[in-house]
Amino acid sequence: MQTDSQAAFKAAELAARQSYGRVVSYLAWQWRDIAAAQDALHDALLKALEVWPVDGVPASPDAWILTVAKRELLQVARHDRVRWDPAVTVLLESDEAQAERPVVPDARLKLMFVCAHPAIDERVRIPLMLQVVLGLQVADMAPALMVSPTSLAQRLVRAKQKIRDTAIRFEEPELAELPARLESVLESIYGAFGLALDAVDGAETRITDLRDEALYLGTIVCELLPGEPEARGLLALMMFCNARRNAKVSPSGEFIPLAQQDVGRWSRDAIVGADQMLWIAAQQRKPGPFQLEAAVQSAHCQRLFTGKTPWQGIDALYRQINAHYPTQGALVAGAVAMGEAGRVREGLAQLDAMDRSLTQSFQAWWVAKAHLLRLSAQSATAEVDAALQTAIGLTIHKPARTYLETLRSNLQ
């Protein structure tokens, strides 16, 4: 049965979105070359756009794409006269069997730990995982990482070349090596989750799908490393945030900040499950940033049960976070917590003490600045207006921008 070009394109897009990470991870794991695996997958997707409109969409699109990508790698190998390289023979031996199997082997977590190898530049480990394993583009990641797209692209190219040229081991790390690499793996999972959670403005499906992917990978890491409380802390953190996602936007599409959300639209079962996950992690008495961040979200969720937000407790948690694990985001959130707990001047001072070269283009900083200025009895309306105007200019998502514009128009 034939299909038109539009249907074929949609089928190829769906297959790429659902299996990109699995296919690249599997090919890279066998081929020992991340860049070559990505190139082969892209060639296979182009081939799908040529063939599927004529021959029809195959019963197992991901298996078809995997088979074609492997053939692309084999052709490159033959051209380079490495026909009998061990990596090539592995592909040859399994090629026929793989074509018959609809399920693509999942080597994503293994590849993430390879990307977290200590020989790879620490600055590039997380974006390397996000790009190779989860399919994000440089343009997706650069703003969140506060780096220019050009610089990030150059770092990624160098990292892939280093993996290939220095023969960084693709074998699974020894159990003793995993804790040293775990932090980067968890950060990349949370980075993907955060991008998906913030995608409220008609974002591409490949971005929004990352929410479920991150939750799945977080669950797998917990099963793989049950003795690592930070893995459970991350999973609890994502579960808390995911439990509230339906309340972020009104039925008519308006953005609703956390403090104004209808708790009736939160998932009580998901919050209880996240609290249980966090409690299990806390029993190991090895606190870390993800557990503390999860505790903050747990505190916010208490409004579902008590009707109040415990700002004093949230303020105390952020003081711990920023004393030991400070980040730009945590410092801004901590400043807001100070203000809500009655320490507005201290919150403003914390914002003003941050690196202005970074905060000038950090939308959250300007939103926090405007909020604390509004709480301060000594602030002039003009100051609040200026901060809101800058925040609006830096806001990408339309519902959030509309909300800030409404705040600005309501200033007395």
Task: Please give the DSSP secondary-structure letter assigned to residue 251.
Answer: T
Task: Please give the DSSP secondary-structure letter assigned to residue 262.
Answer: -
**Contact of 12 with 49, CB cutoff 8 Å:** yes
Mean pLDDT of 179-196: 88
**Contact of 61 with 11, CB cutoff 8 Å:** yes
Return the minimum-mean-pLDDT range out of 1-15, 21-35, 184-198, 279-293. Answer: 1-15
Predicted pLDDT at 178? 80
**Contact of 20 with 135, CB cutoff 8 Å:** yes
Question: Is pLDDT above 70 for 339?
Answer: yes
Q: How confident is the model at residue 205 (pLDDT cuts 50, 70, 90)?
A: low
Amino acid identity of 367?
Answer: V
What's the pTM value of the predicted model, to 2 decimals? 0.77
Question: Is pLDDT above 80 for 332?
Answer: yes
Question: Is pLDDT above 80 for 268?
Answer: yes
Asked whether residue 280 is domain-assigned, the answer is no
| Domain region containing 334 | 327-412
Which pLDDT tens digit goes with each residue over 380-399? Answer: 788 999 999 999 999 888 88
Asked whether residue 302 is domain-assigned, the answer is no
In angstroms, the CA 396 to CA 412 distance is: 26
In angstroms, the CA 68 to CA 27 distance is: 11
Amino acid identity of 369?
Answer: K
Measure CA of the first residue to CA of the last residue in the chain; give whole Å: 65
Predicted pLDDT at 87? 42
**Number of separate domains in the chain:** 3
Predicted pLDDT at 53? 79
Nearest by Cα to 388 from 358, 366, 410: 366
Predicted pLDDT at 21? 67
Question: Is pLDDT above 80 for 88?
Answer: no
Predicted pLDDT at 167? 62
Which pLDDT tens digit goes with each residue over 221-262? Answer: 898 888 999 999 999 999 999 999 999 988 888 899 999 999
**Contact of 210 with 198, CB cutoff 8 Å:** no
Q: How confident is the model at residue 177 (pLDDT cuts 50, 70, 90)?
A: confident
Question: Is pLDDT above 60 for 150?
Answer: yes
User: Does residue 347 share a domain with residue 391?
Assistant: yes
Return the minimum-mean-pLDDT range out of 205-209, 253-257, 270-274, 329-333. Answer: 205-209
Task: Please give the DSSP secondary-structure letter assigned to residue 124.
Answer: H
User: Does residue 122 share a domain with residue 75?
Assistant: no
Q: How confident is the model at residue 107 (pLDDT cuts 50, 70, 90)?
A: low
Predicted pLDDT at 224? 82
Question: Is pLDDT above 60 for 209?
Answer: yes
Mean pLDDT of 258-274: 95
Mean pLDDT of 314-319: 97
User: Does residue 134 share a domain with residue 94?
Assistant: no
Predicted pLDDT at 237? 97
Asked whether residue 274 is domain-assigned, the answer is no
**Contact of 44 with 20, CB cutoff 8 Å:** no
User: Does residue 117 share a domain with residue 96?
Assistant: no
As a whole number of angstroms, the longest Cα–Cα distance in the chain is: 76
Asked whether residue 30 is domain-assigned, the answer is yes
Predicted pLDDT at 136? 76
Q: Where is the domain boundary, 86, 106, 126?
A: 106
In angstroms, the CA 228 to CA 232 distance is: 7
Asked whether residue 252 is domain-assigned, the answer is no
Predicted pLDDT at 260? 93
Predicted pLDDT at 166? 67
Q: How far is CA 264 from CA 167, 247, 303, in A?
A: 53, 9, 11
Asked whether residue 321 is domain-assigned, the answer is no
Predicted pLDDT at 82? 43
Question: Is pLDDT above 60 for 203?
Answer: no
Which CATH number belongs to the domain containing residue 400 in this structure? 1.25.40
pLDDT above 90 covers a percentage of the chain that reads: 41
CA 305 and chain centroid, separation: 29
Mean pLDDT of 370-383: 87
The token pair at 195 is 């991008």
Over the Cα atoms of the chain, what is R_g? 24
**Contact of 181 with 113, CB cutoff 8 Å:** yes
User: Does residue 126 share a domain with residue 159?
Assistant: yes
Mean pLDDT of 129-139: 78
**How high is the mean pLDDT of the chain?**
81
DSSP H helical segments within 166-310, as ranges? 178-198, 205-208, 210-224, 229-243, 268-282, 289-301, 303-306
Mean pLDDT of 6-33: 70
Which pLDDT tens digit goes with each residue over 283-308? Answer: 999 999 999 999 999 999 999 999 99
DSSP H helical segments within 251-397, as ranges? 268-282, 289-301, 303-306, 311-324, 328-340, 344-352, 356-359, 363-375, 381-394
In angstroms, the CA 269 to CA 274 distance is: 9
Which pLDDT tens digit goes with each residue over 66-77? Answer: 787 777 777 665
Specify the higher pLDDT residue, 386 or 24: 386
Mean pLDDT of 322-333: 95
User: Does residue 113 share a domain with residue 101?
Assistant: no
Asked whether residue 230 is domain-assigned, the answer is no
